[in-house]
Amino acid sequence: MCGIIGIVTGKPVATGLISSLKLLEYRGYDSAGIATLQNGTVWRERAAGKLSNLEKKIRVNGLGDGGIGIGHTRWATHGAPNETNAHPHIIGDVVIVHNGIIENYQELRGELLKNGAKISSDTDTEVIGHLIQNQLKINDNVETAIQAAIGMLRGAFALAIMIKGNEELLIGARKGCPLAVGIGDVEGHYIGSDALALSPFSRQIVYLEEGDFVFATKNTFKVYNESGELVEREINIIEQQSAVMDKGNHKHYMAKEFFEQPDVISHTLANYIDMDTNQINIDSKLDITKFNRIIMVSCGTAYYAAMVGKYWLEKTTHMSVEVDVASEFRYRNPPLNEKCLFIVVSQSGETADSLAALRLAKEKGCTTVAVVNVPTSTMSREADFILPTSAGTEVCVASTKAFICQITVLAALSIGFGKSLNILSADDASKMTMDLASLPRLINDSFSVEKEIIKLAHNIAKVEHVLFLGRHTSFPIAMEGALKLKEITYIHAEGYAAGELKHGPIALIDEKMPLIIIAPDNDTYEKTRSNIEEIAARGGDIMVFTTQKRAEEIRALGLKAIALPDSSDFLSPFVYTIPVQLLAYHTAVHMGTDVDQPRNLAKSVTVE
């Protein structure tokens, strides 16, 4: 969720860069910088901290006059939030800003160093600049060189680039992180993270699609797709006042928000992972060795996030982990004391039942932790420790990106606690941390099933009841899938542990009852497969979400399956969240319900 702005007009752009970055402050950041290009010379200013620090430096040192420039607000992922690591970076002829995480940057960095590259920062961004510089040395065609360099990257990213010697050319690229192009009313083109960044300059917005590159001058722009083919993208007219809450190229906020998930996961991971050492950073004062029990309390979607976290925390801490619905917790006189670590999970940080549970835990002497998306919320102020989810503003009532950021935080917490207790070895903790760093790309890859999900959604829209089944961490994802479907389609849906099938739900199965079965290829797969065969024998209408290998096996039985990207068992809850979100969304769209504001629901429940 860092901010990018790029401007090419032929007239001085520095002031416009600063104005746009101010509009992007809402995304959160810890350093900022701008650069302009003029007569083969780069003028650049960077500063740690707030934009006001950057503006002070500019007042002292003067303003560049270049007619092309790029700017950035950075949320540190690789390297400390200092001026050296702040963007833009200058590498030879390349000036670059970047959002996202490059997973293979260590490998690329090592190869560059071996070949004599001089790397001055700790960022993954500088590595991209070196790759581009190397390609420019062997390829006179800038467009081809840029595409070749970016093709070496693995991860999720949005980029804005300038090249010395091509001082009328502004370049952008995206994969997994949003980027848009603004068309000037008279002349000039702009690149920004969202319509809000572009709103001072343009009402005509082109949203780049996955894998797109854009090459813009003050008079023209060209968009190429991931295959290098010249393409046309739709021009959207955005009123300035609506840019604040722009849906991008999506019909609903819900769609925009779940397609933001690779980006917001990157932002969230930056709070907890040192990408250089693959270490989890949790406040050292939150000492898990002081406790013998963990209690997690939440409501709705956040409750299912806590349930996923329970599996991880019990495995990495060997402690009893209780998960309770906040509205029930304080009415059952729970035994609490100073040996209990109490964790409340909430998007808003204002949910009445969860807040009451937090206050009860504090009264009983528990150490309290808030996993929360709003740092200024009541829970953030009252808890002993805050673990921010950094999902950004979530407009749609049905939570998507906040949920996946909640489980991201709980996954990081599980690794950190396991390492502190010596239950996870240093190697195991490092491997799990590297897994987490791959999440933005993996989530982005999971969107590839959308077309298949749309077909399934058209069938689901015709029914009155749906069952979701899963085992282990897939069980709470099944419940979350059922909740999403009922929230925005008003179809009755239930999520069950697959092992509970024979204890009642199997009585409901007939050819009219759709079953969505979440079956990643893990230790519980064979048990889940037995459930699938039991359902098939009774004529159930089955759709299995699983891996490519297992999908082929399921289809060989004459059943339906959708294949998700392969992932570790640890990451499977993230991957399998995507299809259940997409299914609810596309079913609701097909039925014509109010996706963003479903009936009877509110975003934050502040009364009991």
- Looking at per-residue confidence, does 234 or 25 come out higher? 234
**Residue located via tokens 């429940």:** 605
Asked if residue 417 has pLDDT above 90, the reply is yes
- DSSP secondary structure string for all residues of 394-447: --SSS-SHHHHHHHHHHHHHHHHHHHHTTSS-HHHHHHHHHHHHTHHHHHHHHG
Asked if residue 382 has pLDDT above 80, the reply is yes
Query: d(Cα 336, Cα 363) in Å, to the nearest integer?
Result: 9
Query: d(Cα 259, Cα 175) in Å, to the nearest integer?
Result: 11
The β-bridge partners of 320 are: 293
Q: What is the pLDDT of residue 1?
A: 55
Cβ-based burial of 242 (10 A; exposed 0-12, middle 13-18, buried ≥19): middle
The reply to whether 3-249 and 257-437 are identical in fold is no
Q: What is the pLDDT of residue 246?
A: 67
Under the banding of pLDDT at 50, 70 and 90, the label for residue 403 is very high
Q: What is the pLDDT of residue 96?
A: 97
Under the banding of pLDDT at 50, 70 and 90, the label for residue 47 is very high
Asked if residue 26 has pLDDT above 80, the reply is no
**Residue located via tokens 């520095």:** 14
2 catalytic per annotation: yes
Is residue 145 a contact partner of residue 101, using CB atoms and an 8 Å limit? no
pTM: 0.85
Cβ-based burial of 433 (10 A; exposed 0-12, middle 13-18, buried ≥19): buried
Q: Give Cβ neighbours of residue 487 (< 8 Å, ≥ 6 apart).
A: 397, 398, 584, 598, 601
**Residue located via tokens 């079913």:** 587
Q: What is the pLDDT of residue 79?
A: 86
Query: d(Cα 51, Cα 369) in Å, to the nearest integer?
Result: 31
Under the banding of pLDDT at 50, 70 and 90, the label for residue 23 is confident
Query: d(Cα 405, Cα 323) in Å, to the nearest integer?
Result: 18
Query: d(Cα 5, Cα 17) in Å, to the nearest integer?
Result: 7
Encode 292-347 in three state secondary structure.
Answer: CEEEEEECHHHHHHHHHHHHHHHHHHCCEEEEEEHHHHCCCCCCCCCCEEEEEEEC
Asked if residue 104 has pLDDT above 70, the reply is yes
pLDDT digits (tens, 9 = 90+) for 211-230: 999 999 999 999 999 999 99
Q: What is the pLDDT of residue 375?
A: 85
Share of the chain above pLDDT 70, in %: 97
Cβ-based burial of 74 (10 A; exposed 0-12, middle 13-18, buried ≥19): buried
Asked if residue 449 has pLDDT above 90, the reply is yes
Q: What is the pLDDT of residue 6?
A: 96
- DSSP secondary structure string for all residues of 135-148: HHHH-S-HHHHHHH
Asked if residue 31 has pLDDT above 60, the reply is yes
Give the angle 508-513-515 at the CA atoms, nearest 5°.
100
Asked if residue 426 has pLDDT above 80, the reply is yes
| Choice among 345-359, 481-495, 582-596 with the minimum mean pLDDT | 345-359
Asked if residue 254 has pLDDT above 70, the reply is yes
Q: What is the pLDDT of residue 244?
A: 53
What is the rounded average pLDDT of the residues 474-484? 97
Tell me the torsion sign for CA atoms 447, 257, 402, 582.
negative
- Looking at per-residue confidence, does 27 or 402 come out higher? 402
Q: What is the pLDDT of residue 597?
A: 87
The β-bridge partners of 45 are: 34
- Looking at per-residue confidence, does 277 or 161 come out higher? 161
Under the banding of pLDDT at 50, 70 and 90, the label for residue 352 is confident
Q: Give Cβ neighbours of residue 566 (< 8 Å, ≥ 6 apart).
A: 521, 547, 548
CATH class of the domain whose range is 3-249: alpha beta
Query: d(Cα 99, Cα 131) in Å, to the nearest integer?
Result: 17
Q: What is the pLDDT of residue 135?
A: 96
Fold of 257-437: Rossmann fold (3.40.50)
Query: d(Cα 345, Cα 307) in Å, to the nearest integer?
Result: 11
What is the rounded average pLDDT of the residues 487-515? 91
Q: What is the pLDDT of residue 132?
A: 96
Picking from 510, 504, 475, 489, the residue whose alpha carbon sits closest to that of residue 581 is 489
Helix (H) or strand (E) segment spanning residue 55:
helix 51-61
Asked if residue 293 has pLDDT above 70, the reply is yes
Catalytic residue (choose from 11, 315, 560, 603): 603
What is the rounded average pLDDT of the residues 444-455? 96
| Choice among 263-277, 360-374, 438-452 with the minimum mean pLDDT | 263-277
- C-alpha separations of 330 from 337, 351, 358, 385, 576 in Å: 14, 14, 9, 21, 32
Picking from 158, 103, 112, the residue whose alpha carbon sits closest to that of residue 131 is 112
**377: DSSP letter:** S
What is the rounded average pLDDT of the residues 467-484? 97
What is the rounded average pLDDT of the residues 144-158? 93
What single letter denotes the amino acid at residue 286?
L
SS3 category, 71 = strand
- C-alpha separations of 388 from 166, 254, 355, 373 in Å: 42, 21, 16, 6
* C-alpha 398: how far from chain center: 16
Which pairing describes strands 514-518 and 541-547: parallel, antiparallel, or unpaired?
parallel
How many other β-carbons are positioned within 10 Å of the β-carbon of residue 81?
16
pLDDT digits (tens, 9 = 90+) for 559-607: 999 999 999 999 999 999 999 999 999 999 999 999 988 888 766 665 4
**Sheet of 385-388: strands edge to edge?**
320-325, 293-298, 340-346, 367-372, 385-388
| Segments making up each domain of the chain, as ranges | 3-249, 257-437, 446-591
What is the rounded average pLDDT of the residues 69-92? 91
The CATH number of 446-591, from 3.40.190.10, 3.90.79.10, 3.40.50.10490, 3.30.1330.60, is: 3.40.50.10490
Is residue 196 a contact partner of residue 245, using CB atoms and an 8 Å limit? no
What is the rounded average pLDDT of the residues 423-432? 95
Q: What is the pLDDT of residue 593?
A: 95
Query: d(Cα 379, Cα 351) in Å, to the nearest integer?
Result: 9
Asked if residue 241 has pLDDT above 60, the reply is no
- Looking at per-residue confidence, does 247 or 266 come out higher? 266
Under the banding of pLDDT at 50, 70 and 90, the label for residue 174 is very high
Under the banding of pLDDT at 50, 70 and 90, the label for residue 187 is confident
**78: DSSP letter:** S
SS3 category, 175 = strand
603 catalytic per annotation: yes
Q: What is the pLDDT of residue 605?
A: 64
- Looking at per-residue confidence, does 188 or 246 come out higher? 188
- Looking at per-residue confidence, does 507 or 366 come out higher? 366
